[in-house]
Amino acid sequence: MTSTIKSAVPYAVSQQIIEQFLARQSKINFVRSLSDNREAVAFQPNSSLRLWYNDNMLVYSPHWHNACEMIAPVEGNYLVTVSGQTFELAPGDIFLIPSGEPHSLTPPGQGGRFIFLFEFDQIFSIKGASYLASCMSKPLLISRSTCPAIYAEETELFSQICTEYLHDDSLRDITIYSRLLSFFLNYCRDRLSTEGSPSVTQVPHSSGRNYAERFSAVFSYLDRHFAEELTLEDVAAVAGFSKFHFSRTFKQLSGCNFYEYLCHRRIKASEMLLMQPGMSISQIALQSGFSSVSTFNRMFKKMKGCTPTQYRGMFQVHAESYDEPQESEA
């Protein structure tokens, strides 16, 4: 266990806070629970958050879990690979891995990092949160170079989350979720202003707010109609854009093209249905918007690394309940 952190990170997680995490974790016996490459995340009772300081130097092979994950190095550079794309994380960076994304981690010879696991599904159900969900559908790297305008505010919010997590009171989780929501809203607004601005000038009566409202309406529409037969022209009309302008702008904002996003949304819906007993694979395929079981199986395996049947089987493996980890997921 690391007793002294040699490298001061650019954000204000103090040495004292890190020591409090280490002291707290030293009293906990943690056993990692894996089924194939899926990791079962056991949160504390009545909570959907888990945050800890991890100073082990184990290499974590590809795995995934339903929780979103943040990695924030304090000392040493980490290599994280998410769905085949590799990122190098330095002290002071904050990196988001979306839920369900296969990822692996290679640590430095010596170092330490905060790991934060959380569920965000309930936030996504709030009106207007669809664009927020789209921003979080891809890995996000918050650093001085990638997000210079919001870096200081984002790292301060993460520091507040770390401090708040040590408070064992009834308002802890809701306070942390409020910080998380601010964190991602900052990112979305920054993304709209930096990536959306060139296209905004082409939209009648457009302002940043009007532009955000148009695409929020698009993502809300997709949430309601993803299982239907949708065309690019249909969805472009929701935003009031030509299909060419819509297609270009959609990729700027979401990081993928319209049909890739639609497929991703359908796979997400199928994951929830696969956890429910009593539905056949063919029923789930059709209810999720796929025209055939073969297409569903092929796209599911491409995105998740396993078949729908294998995925369903993973949830039938009982994971032993445990409290906060001393060592855990990458």
The pLDDT of residue 292 is 94
Residues pairing with 150 in the sheet? none
Average pLDDT, rounded, for the chain: 80
Tell me what percent of the residues of the chain surpass a pLDDT of 70. Answer: 78
Contact 68, 99 (CB under 8 A): yes
Instruction: Report residue 3's pLDDT band, with 50, 70 and 90 as the boundaries.
Output: very low
pLDDT single digits (tens) 280-326: 999 999 999 999 999 999 999 888 778 899 878 765 543 333 334 43
196 closest CA partner among 183, 215, 177, 170: 215
CATH top class, domain 258-316: mainly alpha
Q: What are the phi and psi torsion angles at 95 (to 5°)?
A: -125, 130
DSSP 8-state symbol, 64: B
Rounded Cα distance between 29 and 294, Å, is: 44
DSSP 8-state symbol, 85: E
pLDDT single digits (tens) 129-144: 666 777 777 899 999 9
The model's pTM: 0.69
The pLDDT of residue 63 is 83
In the chain, where the domains are located: 15-192, 201-256, 258-316
CATH number of the domain located at residue range(s) 15-192 in this protein: 2.60.120.280
Token pair in block for residue 50? 């888990």
Rounded Cα distance between 116 and 160, Å, is: 13
- Lowest mean pLDDT of 55-59, 90-94, 300-304, 319-323, name the range: 319-323
76 closest CA partner among 51, 109, 106, 116: 109
- Surface-to-core class of residue 104, CB atoms within 10 Å of its CB (0-12 exposed, 13-18 middle, 19+ buried): middle
